[in-house]
Amino acid sequence: MRISLRHLHRAYGSLHAVHDISLDIPSNTIYGIIGKSGAGKSTLVRLISLLEAPDSGEIFYDDTRVDNLAKDELITQRRKIGMIFQNFNLFSSRNAAENIAYPLEIAGVPKDKIQERVKELLELVGLTGRGKAPISTLSGGQMQRVAIARALANNPDIIFCDEATSALDPQTTRSILDLLKDLQKRMNLSVVMITHQMEVVRDACEYVAVLENGSVVEEGKVIDVFAKPGSSITKEFLANLAPLVEDEQLKKSDMVRWSQEGGRYTLRFRGELTGEPVLSRIQKRYDVEINIRAGGIQHVSGEEVGTLICDIIGETEEVEKAVAALQLSGILVEEEGMQV
């Protein structure tokens, strides 16, 4: 199901939690919404998932307007949405199977059908035979699996994940993301993931919107945003991605030796470019030396995005030419100092 947001506003007193957000979330894909705490992402997800009404603006599921539904219609619509949360929010008074049964019970599904469906769902999330387990005996990953099964019980078109992996360790996060990706493909779901972890966006999402102070500052395919981050907040998120962090000690000693000789550059390039010897070509054509400090290649929705942190040493004029040539060949160049 396609989701369209038009000029959404939501304020709490004088705080504009969501400020004029318009987004188109395509059907049948995983869409990430990333932002720091306080960026407005929790409010945004409560608006899109119809838990809260916007002050102004419109929300459409496909072509149906859903932000102004009457109470009964709202309840019917909510039953077609699945939602999972950071703290799982499972019912401690119910065991795993009874938790998964809840949305079916409230929708009035007959008992024997519920049992059948619950069994299917337990299997789907890899918890076959654990139905009778009390919630407190499950690990974090298992709890989130129960929550996912519960969210899928009513065959929803949309799944909202509100920081769904933030309480999990990296390994469990990966397994939950893999499960969500798999389910998304198998059931043609539209998944909206709210997160503050760029790793989640990189590993699971096809599209991303970056939120800051209640507004969208950047939006597009993840691969494009990774290759060409347009806002400082996005660059900050990218810089905090694990593999590119430099050894602080090394950085210091290098800075001392090269501080007179040239700036520091971050090069980002995508796809086919990762296989080409662009740098050595540049080095041959212009009178510069390129000194690579750190680098790496990340896999983003099946494509590669490379990042190199390097110095370009030479006459100012030659360096400028080299940078221009790099940019011309499709590489995004950021100079230190320009980068936040």
Partner 1 sequence: MNILITLVWKATVETLSMVSFATLFSLILGLPIGILLCVTGPIAQGGIVPKPVLNNVLGRVVNVLRSFPFIILMILLFPLSRIIVGTSIGTKATIVPLSIAAAPFVARIIESAIKEVDPGVIQAARAMGSTTFQIIVKVLIPEAMPALVSGITLTIINLIGYSAMAGAIGGGGLGDLAIRYGYQRFRPDVMLFSVIVILVLVEVVQVIGNKISARMMAKR
Gap between the Cα atoms of 104 and 154, Å rounded? 7
Gap between the Cα atoms of 131 and 124, Å rounded? 12
231 with 35: CB under 8 angstroms? no
CB of 103 to partner 1, least distance (A): 5
- Kindly tell me which residue out of 4, 27, 28, 77 binds partner 1, with binding defined by CB under 8 A: 77
CB of 54 to partner 1, least distance (A): 17
Q: Does 87 bind partner 1 (CB under 8 A)?
A: yes
- What are the structure tokens assigned to 216, written together? 């969208």
CB of 83 to partner 1, least distance (A): 4
- Kindly tell me which residue out of 10, 117, 145, 150 binds partner 1, with binding defined by CB under 8 A: 150
- Taking each helix axis from N to C terminus, what angle separates 96-106 and 111-124, rounded to the nearest 10 degrees? 130
CB of 81 to partner 1, least distance (A): 7
Binding mask 155-194 for partner 1 (x = CB under 8 A): -----x----------------------------------
The set of residues, in sequence order, having a beta carbon less than 8 Å from that of 103 and lying 6+ positions away, is 79, 150, 153, 154
Q: Does 89 bind partner 1 (CB under 8 A)?
A: yes
27 with 83: CB under 8 angstroms? no
Sheet bearing 264-270, strands edge to edge: 288-300, 303-314, 264-270, 332-335
Gap between the Cα atoms of 135 and 142, Å rounded? 9
234 with 218: CB under 8 angstroms? yes
CB of 150 to partner 1, least distance (A): 8
Nearer to partner 1, 134 or 243 (CB): 134
**Which span (30-38, 59-67, 131-139, 274-282) binds partner 1, by CB under 8 A?**
131-139
Q: Does 135 bind partner 1 (CB under 8 A)?
A: yes
- What are the structure tokens assigned to 263, written together? 């700036």
Alpha helix ranges (H) inside 27-133: 41-48, 71-78, 96-106, 111-124
- Kindly tell me which residue out of 30, 43, 48, 85 binds partner 1, with binding defined by CB under 8 A: 85
Which residues from 41-70 bind partner 1, rule CB under 8 A? Answer: 49, 51
Binding mask 98-117 for partner 1 (x = CB under 8 A): ----xx-xxx----------
- What are the structure tokens assigned to 111, written together? 């008992």
Nearer to partner 1, 105 or 123 (CB): 105
Nearer to partner 1, 135 or 216 (CB): 135
Gap between the Cα atoms of 310 and 175, Å rounded? 34
Contacts to partner 1 by CB under 8 A: 49, 51, 75-79, 81, 83, 85, 87, 89-94, 102-103, 105-107, 134-136, 150, 154, 160
